[in-house]
């Protein structure tokens, strides 16, 4: 079974490989920041054979000084992925409710955990349904996987490294412009941004239907933000979910070295000595 050698896959290509003798493991990671839990959506209908995995409970650690969506404990992550049927070396496809955010964080987490063969269904569940592909409410009898989590598969920034990168490279803040400017902050207790960071809202990386823009268009937009060959690049948002989507977009544009500040703004502001612009 093969998938396109890029981080995304469309509904037609996924349908083809799902019908093969060795289909990929499919993970439903539908999620909303303010709820309700995505498991309710999964129960109502999902891709055939897909297992549900919870972004908050399975793919992230407990919120606290590390931010609202910190890195998971590797052992906990390994148990959750094995329960969902993830196997070492076997392809995985992740999808969400269409905006790509949760799926991108799942993609990033699996890649960080050392699993390379991971793709995101571009456009998520709505794209699958719009393509006339089948859905089911049946919960599959998932065979436990054997993945071994090996942290370090993708680069990570801590607060110190993120602050340094903002002056020595390009640190992209992908939140909406009013949040970046500190005019409003609907979630975290402090408004503003990391000094030196540039604002490039994640909404600029997608088409109206939630699909990622073409690689050439993404490359051009990132170049306008200062992302150039030889310049190190990192990304942050409120809690490392939306930023993971921009890391996915950077991979599509050829920057597979882009680093994620997982703790993001929600961790940055836990230390009052850290500067705020």
Residues 59, 118, 237, 262: which is the catalytic one? 237
The H-assigned helical ranges of the chain are: 11-18, 39-44, 55-58, 74-83, 101-112, 124-130, 159-168, 177-180, 215-224, 242-252, 264-268
60 is catalytic: no
Query: What is the pTM for the complete model shown?
Result: 0.96
The residue extents of the domains of the chain are: 8-130, 156-268
The architecture of the domain spanning 8-130 is 3-Layer(aba) Sandwich (3.40)
Measured distance between the N- and C-terminal CA atoms of the chain, rounded to whole angstroms = 49
d(CA 150, CA 141): 26
pLDDT in tens, the chain (277 residues): 444 468 999 999 999 999 999 999 999 999 998 888 899 999 999 999 999 999 999 999 999 999 999 999 999 999 999 999 999 999 999 999 999 999 999 999 999 999 999 999 999 999 999 999 999 999 999 999 999 999 999 999 999 999 999 999 999 999 999 999 999 999 999 999 999 999 999 999 999 888 999 999 999 999 999 999 999 999 999 999 999 999 999 999 999 999 999 999 999 999 999 999 9
d(CA 202, CA 240): 12
3-state secondary structure of 89: coil
Of the options 3.60.60.10, 3.40.250.10, 3.40.640.10, 2.40.30.10, the CATH number for the domain spanning 156-268: 3.40.250.10
């Amino acid at each position: 079974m093969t998938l396109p050698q890029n981080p995304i896959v469309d509904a037609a290509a996924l349908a083809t490989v799902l019908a093969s003798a060795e289909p990929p493991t499919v993970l439903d990671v539908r999620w909303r920041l303010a709820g309700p839990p995505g498991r309710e959506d999964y129960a109502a209908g999902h891709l055939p054979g897909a297992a549900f995995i919870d972004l908050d409970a399975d793919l992230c650690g407990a919120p606290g000084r590390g931010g609202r969506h910190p890195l998971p404990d590797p052992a906990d992550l390994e148990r959750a992925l094995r329960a969902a049927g993830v196997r070492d070396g076997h392809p995985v496809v992740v999808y969400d409710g269409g905006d790509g955010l949760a799926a991108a964080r799942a993609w990033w987490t699996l890649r960080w955990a050392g699993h390379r063969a991971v793709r995101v269904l571009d456009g998520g569940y709505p794209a699958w349904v719009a393509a006339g592909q089948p859905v089911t409410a049946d919960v599959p009898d998932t065979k436990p996987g054997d993945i071994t989590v090996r942290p370090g598969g993708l680069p990570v920034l801590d607060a110190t490294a993120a602050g340094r990168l903002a002056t020595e490279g390009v640190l992209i803040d992908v939140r909406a412009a009013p949040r970046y400017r500190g005019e409003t902050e609907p979630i975290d207790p402090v408004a503003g941004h990391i000094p030196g960071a540039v604002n490039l809202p994640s909404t600029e990386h997608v088409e109206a239907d939630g699909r990622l823009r073409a690689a050439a268009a993404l490359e051009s937009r990132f170049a306008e933000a200062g992302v150039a060959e030889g310049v190190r690049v990192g990304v942050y948002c409120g809690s490392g979910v939306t930023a993971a989507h921009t890391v996915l977009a950077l991979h599509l544009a050829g920057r597979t070295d882009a680093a994620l500040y997982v703790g993001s703004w929600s961790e940055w502001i836990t230390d009052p000595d850290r500067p705020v612009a």
